[in-house]
Amino acid sequence: MKKIVILGSTGSIGTQTLEVVRDSGDIEVVGLSAYSNIGLLEKQIREFRPKLAVTGTKELAEELKVKAADMDIRIAYGMEGLLELAQMEEAGLVVTAVVGMIGIRPTVAAIQAGKDIALANKETLVTAGHLIMPLADKYGVQILPVDSEHSAVFQVLHGEEKKAVSKLLITASGGPFRGKSRAFLEHVTAKDALKHPNWAMGKKITIDSATLVNKGLEVIEAKWLFGVAMDQIEVVIQPTSIIHSMVEFLDGAVIAQMGTPDMKLPIQYALYYPERKYRYGERLDFKKLREITFDAPDMETFRGLPLAIEASRIGGSMLTVFNAANERAVDAYLNGKIGFLDIYTLIEEAMAAHRAIDEPQLDEILAVEQDTWRITEHWISRHSQ
């Protein structure tokens, strides 16, 4: 029986991972974590019977202990708790489904403990890819992508030689504001931005999809995962998210992976890799679909993508600045403190104020994150609406 831990089990990816586990019947969940949603965490504990559950704070852990007093389970909290989860002896694979850079330390700990990683938490790879990928090699563990685009490339590359790859074609829906102008974007609210046309996801990634910062993060994620140069990655708009991504090979052949927009497919692929298992669910009907259209991304209006490319060109700790400034900006936008276009301005200002360190170590990455927070907090308090 496969034994897994899920970091961030109450989120969009976490709950869908548990749906896959529920359907499969041959995966045991040994550890789960939430930040504050202990109501849902309690339900998950009762259904999946893990040995360890982790909450965001001590108070929440105490509350959960009372709720789950009749259960045989250990309850921990905070970063110490996440690190303990990541290294649980019973687990063979850790699903990293927390949101943001908080995932770095648990991911490093899980790799050092020899666990395979089903990686959804892209912010970790974007800011610490230069540490994570060699570490995974050193400990002989697999990094299995959960992100749909990367799962698509991973599926296409199965059995292919890396040297035969000419470029990765990462698809993007373009988000809810595709085709809109800067003038329009000035007034869009978080409520408008939270309406993604194809995918139901956590709030942060939904805003990232609207700004195209998500696609920027994904290009960098792809660079680390597949060991290609940035200029070998092209973003293609495919509004209906039917093609999850494609690979062009040296001979000109292009292979695409398609499917309905359902994250349970890439989650299941990561959990069972290299085996492919049957999944119930909607299938593509090409007669009804009739057409699949493509376009180029609008890099002038949606600056999330060019800013990410610039951060990657500079490299090192600039990637942490790009990511950390975005995390704070999205949070401020969701709380109505800044406007949509301010997200780009904040990232730009934070990047302009930073002198990049090459190959930063973990403590340097976390220190740069703190510095970036200070700069962004200051900017937000001066510009709050």
DSSP 162: G
**Minimum CB–partner distance for residue 379 and ligand NDP (Å):** 22
**Minimum CB–partner distance for residue 151 and Mg ion (Å):** 9
Closer of 61 and 247 to Mg ion (Cβ):
247
Which residues make Cβ contacts (< 8 Å) with residue 118, sequence separation at least 6?
Answer: 4, 17, 93, 94, 95, 96, 144, 146, 267, 270, 271
The three-class DSSP label of residue 232 is: helix
- What span, in angstroms and rounded, lies between the C-alpha atoms of 364 and 103? 16
CA distances from 329 to 72, 336, 343 (A): 41, 11, 5
Nearest residue relative to Mg ion (C-beta): 147
Binding part of the chain for Mg ion, among 79-87, 141-149, 229-237, 281-289 by CB under 5 A, reads: 141-149
List the one residue out of 348, 384, 339, 349 whose CA is nearest residue 184: 339
List the one residue out of 111, 187, 190 whose CA is nearest residue 143: 111
- What span, in angstroms and rounded, lies between the C-alpha atoms of 58 and 204? 25
Query: For the window 81-120, what string marks contact with ligand NDP as x by the rule CB under 6 A?
Result: ----------------xxx--x-----------------x
Residue choice 84, 116, 123, 147 for contact with Mg ion (CB under 5 A): 147
Handedness of CA 335, 188, 102, 31 (dihedral sign): positive
Tell me which long-range contacts 275-281 makes (C-beta under 8 A, separation of at least 24): 277/24, 279/23, 280/23
Query: For the window 26-45, what string marks contact with ligand NDP as x by the rule CB under 6 A?
Result: --------xxxx--------
- DSSP alpha helices (H): ranges in 227-285? 264-272
Binding part of the chain for ligand NDP, among 121-129, 173-181, 183-191, 309-317 by CB under 6 A, reads: 121-129
Handedness of CA 107, 3, 98, 202 (dihedral sign): positive
**Minimum CB–partner distance for residue 148 and ligand NDP (Å):** 6
Query: For the window 204-243, what string marks contact with ligand NDP as x by the rule CB under 6 A?
Result: xx--------------------------------------
Phi, psi of 54 (to 5 degrees): -125, 135
The reply on whether position 346 binds ligand NDP by CB under 6 A is no
**Minimum CB–partner distance for residue 11 and ligand NDP (Å):** 2
When CB distances are held under 5 to 8 angstroms depending on the partner's kind, the choice from ligand NDP, Mg ion, none that residue 11 binds is ligand NDP
Residue 349: how many CB atoms within 10 A of its CB? 17
Radius of gyration of the chain (CA): 20
Q: How far is CA 197 from the centre of its chain?
A: 18
Q: How many residues bind ligand NDP (CB under 6 A)?
A: 27
**Minimum CB–partner distance for residue 9 and ligand NDP (Å):** 6
The reply on whether position 221 binds Mg ion by CB under 5 A is no
The reply on whether position 50 binds ligand NDP by CB under 6 A is no
Residues 123-142 that bind ligand NDP (CB under 6 A): 123
Query: For the window 138-177, what string marks contact with ligand NDP as x by the rule CB under 6 A?
Result: ---------x------------------------------
Residues that bind Mg ion (CB under 5 A): 147-149
What residues make contact with ligand NDP under the rule CB under 6 A? 8-14, 34-37, 56, 97-99, 102, 120-123, 147, 199, 201-202, 204-205, 263
